[in-house]
Amino acid sequence: MTSPAIHAPSALGLGVARAQIELKQFFRERSSVIFNFSFPVIMLFIFGSVFDGDIAPGVSFTQYFTAGMIASGVFMSSFQELAITIAIEREDGTLKRLRGTPMPPAAYFLGKIGMVLVASVAQAAILLGVGAALFGLDLPSEPELWLRFAWIFLLGTVAGTVLGIAYSSLPRSAKSAGAVVSPVLIVLMFISGVYFVYSELPSWMQTVGALFPLKWLAGGMRSIFLPESFAAEEVGDSWQLPETALVLGLWAVVGLVLCLRTFRWMRRDAG
């Protein structure tokens, strides 16, 4: 070998490059972008128009629902998006081709995380704007509330991302991916305090809901966008922030372990 020392490209640099490519791909698929971004907004309009009553002094159901939709938006653009697109990439051979290159696997996952972060931030911004402009959502002015928003949002996105990557192994084919993935989130939205007020759910349903991350993410968002006084209306008479951090963190770890143990670059039937 006469050539000078050859440096393999770094996983971090390639992760950034992959995030750029993923974002291009994502935003160019116009129909899915429009659907992804408008679905939560449309739900806001429907629920905001139908249920206009207050659920506590000075707190309308719409405010409650907006906080829940912001939480759901995080899981739509992380968990749901990744579980479906990775199942498709596995089936059509995108993953197999990547595996045949020297691209470090970490770069692929970093790229997905980067894409999800950008898409979720964009989605949250849209929801916050619409909620504030039309549905009486109070955007907090205290920096510590925005700091709280940052860590809850980030933890939720990370959990949703790793769980989405892990869940993508479940659909047997790209065709069934939508059918296998979407109902999970819809059911969770019913039992996690998005469509209904959580504290008014039957207690067994609360117990089931509390096992999953969306309930904690929605509660965390309420702690930011609803008046402090509403904490008394929550289960346990508080926002339960330490528990939120714990449960979301646990799910992130579980998701990561599942990813590392079950991720496949080739279809299941491919021996």
Which residues lie near another protein (CB under 8 A)? Answer: 1-3, 6-9, 14, 17, 21, 24-25, 28-29, 88-89, 92-94, 96-97, 99-104, 266, 270-271
Nearer to another protein, 107 or 221 (CB): 107
In the complex, the smallest distance separating the C-beta of residue 89 from another protein, rounded to whole angstroms, is: 7
In 3D space, the residue among 190, 173, 171 whose CA is nearest the CA of residue 181 turns out to be 171
Nearest approach, Cβ of residue 119 and another protein (Å): 15
Q: Would you say 88 or 208 has its CB closer to another protein?
A: 88
Contact 192, 209 (CB under 8 A): yes
- Residues in contact with 87: Cβ distance below 8 Å, sequence separation at least 6, in sequence order: 168, 169, 170, 171, 173, 174, 177, 181
Whole-number Å distance between alpha carbons of 37 and 182 = 15
Shortest distance, position 7 Cβ to another protein, whole Å: 6
Query: φ, ψ for residue 141 (rounded to 5)?
Result: -105, -15
Q: 28 or 261: whose CB is closer to another protein?
A: 28
* Residue entry with tokens 């959580």: 198
Cβ nearer to another protein, comparing 19 with 194 = 19
- φ, ψ for residue 56, nearest 5 deg: -160, 165
Query: Cβ of residue 3: shortest distance to another protein, in angstroms?
Result: 5
Half-sphere exposure of 247 (CA within 13 A, CB side): 17
Least Cβ distance, residue 181 to another protein (angstroms): 19
Pick between residue 118 and residue 128 the one whose CB is nearest to another protein.
Answer: 118
